[in-house]
A and B are shown apart, each in its own frame.
Chain A
Amino acid sequence: MKFIKDHIMFILPLVAILLGIEFFLVFDRMTASYEQRLREGYSMLVVSNEPISLQELQSINKNIGQSIKIERDEILKEISLGQKQEDIKEILNVLPNFYTIKLAKYLDTSSLDELQKDLMANKKIKRVETFGNSYSSNYKLFSFIKFILKVFIVFMSVVSLFLVIKQMEVWGYVHKERMQVMEIFGAPIMLRSGVLFKVAIADALIATSIIVSLFLYFRYQIAEISGVDVLMNNSQLLFQPNDAVTLLLCAIIIVVISVYMVVFSSREKEA
């Protein structure tokens, strides 16, 4: 019973930390996917006096990813209905060039303003329409959700870290005497901490398995049959094989640091 209790006291905070890490990974993928969709769905309109190439636009600001020229004939068709042929010619002479601009990456609103300023500073460009209001409201909501989730993950990790430190104190109490006696008789650090390492590595493996199983279950059982579009369409983002490696590495780093801290704090000190 005591053995199980000792393990659970370390596994639980470790699970909480790994849960935070996995949430972070999932959230990172979700936000990357959402940012991509926002980016792909967003475009600016640039009006120029002269034709302007993509290279020219990219030399003005590197955040421009794509420019699509809106054919003047198409525009003319829309605005010249019922006009005389001479008038149409005149319109064609004065009609500027229209470009739809796509972004190379997701930008915050200040970078978007900067992009607009850079474009407007070019002599060829007459006007830039960023449709900033809808972009800004999407961006603010997205930033807020991102912030709240990060705060939650950090808070959860800090609380769990305190629990790990508490367990380290217990380890120190339980293993100190043995490690000190072994040190007096000349045992190297790896031999002194061997038992503790075995316990901690086993706990790291158990904690990682719990999180991996949990997220696999979410991915294949809950997300797939949830009926919620966003979950069903993005179920692959909930867990990826690399996550298991990342989680195991994090767990092992945490236990190795914890064990070494216990070992060093248990060293015989000169009185």
Chain B
Amino acid sequence: MANVIKATDLTLAYNRGKNEIIKNANFSVKKGEFVFITGPSGSGKSTLLKSFYGHLKPAGGSLMVGGLDLTEVSTSKLQELRTHIGIVFQDYKLINEWTVAKNVVLPLMIAGYSLDVQHTQAQRLLRHVKLTEYANKHPFELSGGEQQRVGIARALAKNPMLILADEPTGNLDEYSSNVIWDLMENACGQLETTVVVVTHRIPTIFSLPYRHFIIENKGVYEVH
């Protein structure tokens, strides 16, 4: 299996390299894998995830995502890469002035799909996350769990090669969390999308085989 993510001596830092968060990390994630990244608060989990979609450039080493070296990447290449990545945020990052349906098809809109295709896909995706009746509502009218399901539907919209999720259940109750994990498992198990999830703790009910990385003392280690 090909690597979707490959980090070689990866160093991530803020303040122009002064404040190192991750140092000399070596790891890879293969196509179709489900990966959890855990670690204590402030260890650099979210920073590592941000580097996967080019929000933070490596301060050292190299980071390949989808075959693209993010150490030296142009804006246009990065934009292209991001259209193949679905991202789920703890705070959902939905656009409140848009309807739920329009939020869901944002990746299709960016890719230039016709309105007809967007409409059909919006219905399919909302059916998938069981929110069909919310299509014309606005995100602020939905509960946290429902908003996160919209976020997952948006992440899945363009059948991405990679889904990155930053604490996707961080703000949710147990029931909503289980629904979210179910959708995540489904994305990986049935659609064979690579999923990388940053979380405080791994869910107790999880049926898929997964890999687990832990961040400690600026290093990224795999837990066997």
A179 to B4, CA, bound (A): 27
A-B CB pair tally, cutoff 8 Å: 49
B96: chain A residues within 8 A (beta carbon): 177
Residue A182 CB within 8 A of the other chain: yes
Residue B210 CB within 8 A of the other chain: no
A271 to B110, CA, bound (A): 25
Q: Are A191 and B110 in contact (CB under 8 A)?
A: yes
Q: Are A270 and B57 in contact (CB under 8 A)?
A: yes
With beta carbons under 8 angstroms apart, the residue of B57, B76, B82, B98 that contacts A185 is B82
A182 to B98, CA, bound (A): 12
A186: chain B residues within 8 A (beta carbon): 78-83, 85, 107, 110
Q: Are B14 and A184 in contact (CB under 8 A)?
A: no
Q: Are A187 and B79 in contact (CB under 8 A)?
A: yes
Of all chain B residues, the one with the shortest Cβ separation from A269 is B55
A191: chain B residues within 8 A (beta carbon): 109-110
Residue A268 CB within 8 A of the other chain: yes
Q: Are B53 and A178 in contact (CB under 8 A)?
A: no
Residue B95 CB within 8 A of the other chain: yes
Of all chain A residues, the one with the shortest Cβ separation from B83 is A186
Q: Are A184 and B87 in contact (CB under 8 A)?
A: yes
B76: chain A residues within 8 A (beta carbon): 188
Q: Are A184 and B95 in contact (CB under 8 A)?
A: no
| Minimum C-beta distance from A18 to chain B (A) | 30
With beta carbons under 8 angstroms apart, the residue of B47, B56, B82, B97 that contacts A184 is B82
Q: By CB atoms of chain A within 10 A, which of B56, B76, B97, B98 has the most? A: B97
Given A185-B82, A186-B80, A270 contacting B110 (CB threshold 8 A): no
A185: chain B residues within 8 A (beta carbon): 82-83, 87, 106-107, 110
A182: chain B residues within 8 A (beta carbon): 106, 110
| Minimum C-beta distance from B145 to chain A (A) | 20
A180 to B82, CA, bound (A): 13
A188: chain B residues within 8 A (beta carbon): 76, 79, 110
Q: Would you give the 0/1 interface string for B46-64, flagging 1 where the beta carbon is closer than 8 Å to chain A? A: 0100100101110000000
- What 6 additional pairs, Cβ within 8 angstroms, besides A181-B106, A186-B81? A178-B98, A186-B79, A186-B110, A188-B110, A271-B14, A271-B50
The 16 listed contacts between A and B (C-beta, < 8 Å) are A178-B98, A180-B93, A181-B95, A182-B106, A182-B110, A184-B87, A185-B82, A185-B107, A186-B81, A186-B82, A186-B83, A186-B107, A186-B110, A188-B79, A270-B56, A271-B47
